[in-house]
Structure 1
Amino acid sequence: MTKLFFLGLFGFILGCSNGGSPESLLKASNESYAYEDELAYEVSTDNLEPEQKMPREAKIIKTATLSFESAQPEETHQKILALVAQHNGFVSSDNAGKEYNRIYRNMVVRVPTENFQALVNGISEGVPYFDQKTISRQDVTEEFVDLEARLNAKRELESRYLELLKQAKNVKEMLQIERELSTIREEIEAKQGRLNYLQDRVSMSTVNIEFYKNTSERGVTLSYGQKMKNALKGGWDGISVFFLGLLYLWPLFVVFLGVGLFVRWLIRRKKKS
Structure 2
Amino acid sequence: MKTVFLFLMLLLTFSSCKKSESAAEENISAMKLPPKEDMAASVAYEVVNKNAPQKSEDKTIEQKIIKTGNLRFETRDLETTYNQIQTAVKNYNGTIQNDTEGKDYQSIFKNITVRIPSKNFDLFVKEISKGVAYFDNKEISSQDVTEEYIDIDARLKAKKILEARYLELLKKANKVSEMLEIETQLSAIREEIEAKEGQLRYMQNRVSMSTVTIEFYKNVAEESGVTVSYGAKIWNAIKSGFFGISSFLLGLLEIWPFIIILSFIIYFIRKRFKKKTT
What TM-score do the two structures reach when normalised by structure 2? 0.67
Q: Does 1:44 align with 2:55?
A: no
Identity of aligned residues (%): 46
Name the larger-Rg structure: 1
CA contact (8 A) 2:103 2:109 kept: yes
* Gaps in structure 2 of 5+ consecutive residues: 1-23, 233-278
1:221 CA displacement: 2.8
Q: Separation in 1 of the partners of 2:68 and 2:131?
A: 21
Higher helix share: 2
CA contact (8 A) 1:43 1:152 kept: no
Residue pairs, 1:218-233, within 5 angstroms: 218-219=228-229, 221=231
* Gaps in structure 1 of 5+ consecutive residues: 1-12, 223-273
Q: Secondary structure at the match of 2:186?
A: helix
CA contact (8 A) 2:43 2:161 kept: no
Residue pairs, 1:98-109, within 5 angstroms: 98-109=103-114
Number of the residue aligned with 1:18: 29
Number of the residue aligned with 1:133: 138
Q: Separation in 1 of the partners of 2:78 and 2:184?
A: 59
Q: Secondary structure at the match of 2:63?
A: coil
Deviation digits for residues 29-60 of structure 1, max 9, x if unmatched?
530314665554434334x396x554311110
72, 80, 88: which one pairs with 2:85?
A: 80
Number of the residue aligned with 1:120: 125
Q: Secondary structure at the match of 1:18?
A: helix
Q: Does 1:161 align with 2:166?
A: yes
Deviates more, 1:83-92 or 1:37-46: 37-46
**Aligned-residue CA RMSD in angstroms?**
2.4
Q: Which amino acid aligns with 1:184?
A: I
Q: Separation in 1 of the partners of 2:26 and 2:43?
A: 20
Q: Separation in 2 of the partners of 1:49 and 1:140?
A: 18
Q: Separation in 1 of the partners of 2:43 and 2:73?
A: 50
Q: Which amino acid aligns with 1:147?
A: I
CA contact (8 A) 1:103 1:214 kept: yes
What TM-score do the two structures reach when normalised by structure 1? 0.69
